[in-house]
Structure 1
Amino acid sequence: MDLSPLGRAALQSREGDVLTAYKDSVGVWTIGVGITTASGLITVTPGLTITQAQSDALFAQAVEKYVAPVRAALAKPVPQPFFDACVSLCYNIGPAGFRGSSVVRLVNAGNLPAAIEAFLMWNKPAAIISRRQGERDQAALAAYGTVYARRGDRSPVKVAAGPALVAVKPPDPLAPMTGVPASHAPSQPASSGGLSSAPAPVEPARRSLFSLIADLFRNPKKED
């Protein structure tokens, strides 16, 4: 699995995007989308500034450093929102913390509901709680609809660019054998290249049989 566009947008919203170095809630110098010196991508020092393009590039590199450990830690298939929430958690607590977390232990044991609630165990400092609640709520989704970066946010997360999310339609009951929706069945092409409403042509063998029967009715055999 990989981080989805909506999962990426939710993570970026949780971290923020600051182009001047600042101290995070636990006093660590941070820049861009939650990038610290520990990421190995940049040395963050007081007074450091970066451009938006540099911030975007750092975030793209950082995401890969946290997606891979999540992918490796999860032994069972999980819903996409749960995977994305795990990447968000790993991005915040680090790969080592994530691998040893109850979230991983419980989901690998097959207890997804308990793994979802285990997100809330990472509740220090207090400023992180609304983020954890947002990750927990994201992890609880079976499929994406509306997702909030933090619980209590007024507006849901939106994907800034890329393909729009399309709701999955239920299977067409008129096509139970093939799985192809009847409304999407291919139409017979017309000679002009459009769609034709004319009936499909009769196969040659069947047409000759019809012609033979018609000839018998038109020219009945006379008795000698």
Structure 2
Amino acid sequence: MTRRISPEGLALIKQWEGCKLTAYKDVAGVWTIGYGSTGPHVTAGLKISQEEADQLLLADLDRFERAVERLVKVPLTDGQFAALVSFAFNVGEGAKGFAGSTLLKKLNAGDYAAVPKELMKWVNAGGKKVSGLVNRRAAEAGLWAKGSFVSSNTVEAKPAKPPVLTIDNAVKVATPASAILQNFTSGPAQIILAVAFVIGAAFLLWKFVLKQQEASA
């Protein structure tokens, strides 16, 4: 049975794709409806309900869920799986997209920490950085960091082990986060993110000190 995207991941895709219940031509002149559904069933004047749009999206996602499940050779949390399905749905699952990406190669080599930075390389359209893609990649990177279950084709789903709080772990969290921050242009958004990042790092350090004090007590 194909692994399905989590409700949180599905909500992220809906947010970024947007939904139109009346058929329209996209920038390439292709008749489209719902959350980007295309095909011979989509013609001029076609109208659907919100429920039908949701069902079309689930059907469209099936091949991307299968692709991520087939191509990724290491265990993934639900959040990580959902982030990759969203990414593949946006850039394509083929050789010019997810299947041929450096992201996939590094992930299959066990380099989980490289994924957020690799996601942020896919933010251009027409040779220019697109703020919408920057924001979507950042949202996917955030989803990548979440999730409580680990599973793969060969590993049964089980609760993930809580991470051990160490200085090294704090550095591992800081590295991909800083890569994401670098992709935001200067302005209020960057300042807010930078402040949030500093507060988060300070919190991790505080928790580390408390753990050390408890251990020595």
Partner AA of 2:35 in structure 1 = V
Q: Report which of the two has the higher share of helix.
A: 2
Could you tell me how far apart the structure 2 residues matched to 1:46 and 1:118 are? 39
Report the counterpart of residue 133 of structure 2 in structure 1.
Answer: 128
Q: Report which of the two has the higher share of strand.
A: 2
> CA deviation digits over 1:76-113, x for unaligned, max 9?
00221111000001111121011111221111011011
- 1:118 paired to 2:157: no
- 1:139 paired to 2:130: no
Could you tell me how far apart the structure 1 residues matched to 2:83 and 2:37 are? 18
Aligned-residue sequence identity (percent) comes to 35
Could you tell me how far apart the structure 1 residues matched to 2:102 and 2:135 are? 19
TM-score norm. by structure 2 comes to 0.57
**Which one has a bigger Cα radius of gyration?**
1
Quote the offset at 1:48 in angstroms: 3.5
Partner AA of 1:116 in structure 2 = P
Partner SS, residue 22 of structure 2: strand
The 5 Å alignment of 1:165-204 reads none
Change (3 A) 1:111 1:27: farther
Could you tell me how far apart the structure 1 residues matched to 2:122 and 2:26 are? 16
Off by >2 Å, runs of 4+ in structure 1? 21-30, 42-54, 140-144
Could you tell me how far apart the structure 2 residues matched to 1:45 and 1:53 are? 19
RMSD: 2.5
Report the counterpart of residue 104 of structure 1 in structure 2.
Answer: 104
Change (3 A) 1:31 1:76: same
Q: Tell me, which stretches of 5 or more residues in structure 2 are unaligned? A: 150-183, 190-217
Partner AA of 1:34 in structure 2 = G
Could you tell me how far apart the structure 1 residues matched to 2:13 and 2:19 are? 11
Q: Tell me, which stretches of 5 or more residues in structure 1 are unaligned? A: 145-150, 153-224
Change (3 A) 1:47 1:90: same
Partner SS, residue 33 of structure 2: strand
Quote the offset at 1:8 in angstroms: 1.4
Contact 1:102 1:115 in 2 (8 A): no
TM-score norm. by structure 1 comes to 0.56
